[in-house]
């Protein structure tokens, strides 16, 4: 699997990663792959602290050893949050994104463990211009995978983006 790349109609590398992609630059079937990120104990404990989700399956190694997972698991929403950060690292939507419209049909399909290295793929499902003509809606399927390529989380994270003309006109 390539890193920080895009597949579009057979292409396997993203010549334009790091450059904002406006509505006109995005097509159904494009796939962007993020760089990886290894999840640390500090990540889990920090997430637990600022969300106040101190469930023992995340924070207590002895307790977690006796669970069906045999070890602590990463908070599900930490994985979903990491998707947003990993996508930002590609630069594909930086400067063109107007708003995250929602997280829909999000599924936690396998546990994520401390020490796992995760990557994210973003598949463009469809695009459409809004009635204003200055923005568009990008329907995206986001998939989080661990270092073994196993899908651990997946769902929709649709986004409103600027059109190229609107970006030029913005102050």
Q: How confident is the model at residue 171 (pLDDT cuts 50, 70, 90)?
A: low
pLDDT for res 14:
54
Task: Record the pTM.
Answer: 0.88
| CATH number, domain 5-38+76-169 | 3.10.129.10
Is the model's pLDDT at 5 over the cut of 80? Answer: no
pLDDT digit string (tens) for 92-147?
A: 999 999 999 999 999 999 999 999 999 999 999 999 999 999 999 999 999 999 99
pLDDT for res 8:
46
pLDDT for res 170:
60
Q: Domain-by-domain residue ranges, the chain?
A: 5-38+76-169
Close Cβ partners of 171 (under 8 Å, ≥ 6 residues apart)? none
């Amino acid at each position: 699997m390539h890193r920080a790349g895009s597949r579009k109609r057979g292409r396997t590398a993203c010549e334009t990663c790091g450059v904002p992609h406006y509505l006109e630059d995005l097509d159904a079937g494009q796939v962007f792959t993020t760089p990886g990120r290894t999840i640390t104990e500090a990540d889990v404990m920090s997430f637990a602290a600022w969300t106040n989700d101190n469930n023992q399956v995340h924070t207590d190694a002895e307790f977690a050893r006796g669970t069906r997972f045999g070890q602590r698991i990463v908070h599900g929403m930490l994985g979903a949050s990491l998707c947003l950060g990993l996508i930002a690292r590609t630069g594909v939507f930086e400067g063109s994104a107007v708003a995250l419209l929602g997280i829909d049909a999000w599924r936690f399909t396998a546990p994520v463990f401390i020490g796992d290295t995760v990557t994210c793929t973003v598949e463009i499902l469809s695009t459409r211009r809004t009635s204003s003509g200055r923005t568009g809606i990008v329907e995206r399927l986001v998939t989080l995978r661990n270092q073994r390529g196993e899908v651990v989380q997946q769902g929709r994270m649709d986004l409103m983006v600027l059109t190229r003309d609107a970006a030029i006109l913005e102050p």
